[in-house]
Amino acid sequence: MSAARHAVFGQPIAHSQSPRIHAAFGAAEGIAVDYRAIEVAPDGFAAALEAFAADGGVGANVTLPHKQAAFALCSSTTSRAQRAGAVNTLLRKGDRWHGDNTDGAGLVRDLTGRHGLDLRGRRVLLLGAGGAARGVAPALLDAGILEMVVVNRTPEKADALVDAMGEPGRVTSQYWDDLRNQGDFELIVNATSSARQGGAFNLPLSLVNSMTTAVDLNYGDAAIPFLAWARAASCRNSVDGLGMLVEQAAESFQQWHGVRPQTDAVYAMLRERDAVLVGAD
């Protein structure tokens, strides 16, 4: 019996570690896995997804820049996907797609489990307001953070994310140019893709205190500029998105195959290959 077909959609996608991760999960659990990377431009995403389903595709991950488009294509979604307004995990139900967002759960599991961070009562700065930011914001709030400040180059997108969270006062937006007036934070999360476009980080040192952890949702080369700033700013911890990637993949795997795989061995395998990793899912 052939394996059920799964894939990850994105642009770019050649960098993706998801096929390797799911193959490793399958091998460890004794489950046959057929998981591929499919590159598609935004204007062709809907057609590519339907072609995938017509060819037997039963589940998919979605990465940049398609997470919000995937949400719009679903006939049903989980509550966490609804709060995010973005989908990274698709499951075929009959002739329709059901959507979930496992990014936030993956991030929180990585930070609390693998890195031993207590998120309760923390003041958080979220850089970015696109699909990646929307995916993690609800889970951070559910983990008990005290306050979240959202900053984005396009202020309207930051305002829209704040409105979607539905917690005025606890979640606020600010202008990027006003960062130096925001005080300090225990957690700074980079959910932007500026490093992919050659961007550099020059953030105020006043954002950092003795307890600050800096987290980039990217991994590999795309995480270098932000994590370099974090080290120069003497952040207590700096974390890339590799652990989050593995943990969100495990959440997706569980939905598709009915078992949550162990993640530590897969994370260690990818960390050993870190020198050649580029980009983020």
Is residue 67 among the annotated active site residues?
A: yes
- Rounded to an integer, what is the distance from CA 176 to the centroid of its chain? 21
Answer for the pair 245, 20: CB distance below 8 angstroms, yes or no.
no
Place of tokens 């057609």: 47
Separation of alpha carbons 114 and 244, rounded Å = 10
Q: Which of 5, 15, 66, 67 is catalytic?
A: 67
Rounded Cα gap, residues 178 and 175, in angstroms: 5
**DSSP assignment, residue 259?**
S
CA distance 54 to 64: 23
Residue 275 in contact with residue 268, Cβ under 8 Å? no
| Structure token pair of residue 33 | 């896995």
Q: Which residues contact 225 (CB under 8 A, 6 or more apart)?
A: 194, 195, 199, 200, 201
By annotation, the residues acting in catalysis are 67
